[in-house]
A and B are shown apart, each in its own frame.
Chain A
Amino acid sequence: AQSVTQLDSQVPVFEEAPVELRCNYSSSVSVYLFWYVQYPNQGLQLLLKYLSGSTLVKGINGFEAEFNKSQTSFHLRKPSVHISDTAEYFCAVTSGPGNQFYFGTGTSLTVIP
């Protein structure tokens, strides 16, 4: 069985400060990892994904995430946040094509001006 843990339910951060949103997963098999973002009153959209290859993946809007197999983590980072980054962020894992996705409970990022 797989599961995803997002330890921080809410993260307030000042504008232009760096941010890290944590995601840990549990799985006994190889995984594909995703971060989705949900802006207020909008649907979910893909921020970035790790399928294979380089463990550092870059996504839209200046976000990046690093896959750490030994720590079973896929933390999301941005060096300098903007007001427009205020949103809900979801981490997800799947063991491969055609398999079920498992989502974390989400982290609410609030950027303070």
Chain B
Amino acid sequence: GAGVSQSPSNKVTEKGKDVELRCDPISGHTALYWYRQRLGQGLEFLIYFQGNSAPDKSGLPSDRFSAERTGESVSTLTIQRTQQEDSAVYLCASSSTGQRNNEQFFGPGTRLTVL
């Protein structure tokens, strides 16, 4: 596709369950970001992948959160033992490392609701 896609668009889960969120970046984009946006709040950085470098995990809020990326393609964000405070929209963005093309392109997000 032409843009960043995320799946599922909505996820409702019960407290304590694990969830997996998927992001398909724009083809050729080496950088990929995950953010969390709680209701009425700004963007909270979670993790950043850049090519084959070690990811920057400094934004992950707890060890229940993890993310992987296969090469320069799909990324999955996993939240284990979900809690109600994990309810938020999870946004994925990708960007190129081209000299004048480091704009971030955002996906539509996954709205996670933990009951």
Contact = CB atoms under 8 A, between A and B. Distances in A.
Interface residues of B, number: 28
Contacts of A92: 104
Nearest to B40: A108
Given A90-B43, A98-B51, A49 B97 contact: no
Interface in B46-99: 48, 50-51, 56, 91, 93, 95-99
Contacts of B104: 34, 36, 46, 92, 101
Contact of B30 (A32, A44, A98, A105): A98
A43 B107 contact: yes
B10 interface: no
B96 A97 contact: yes
Interface string B11-42: 00000000000000000001101010000011
B102 A94 contact: yes
Q: What's the dominant secondary structure at chain B's contact region?
A: loop
Given A90-B43, A97-B97, A104-B42, A46 B51 contact: no
B109 A43 contact: yes
Contacts of A101: 33, 45, 93, 95, 104
A97 B102 contact: yes
A63 to B, nearest CB: 16
A100 B106 CA distance: 14
B101 A97 contact: yes
Contacts of A49: 103
B45 A103 contact: yes
A106 to B, nearest CB: 4
Contact of B100 (A44, A51, A90, A99): A51
A44 B91 CA distance: 9
Nearest to B30: A98
Interface of A: 32, 34, 36, 43-46, 49, 51, 90, 92, 94, 96-106
Q: Which 7 A-B pairs have the closest CB atoms?
A: A105-B42, A98-B97, A106-B42, A44-B106, A97-B102, A103-B43, A97-B97
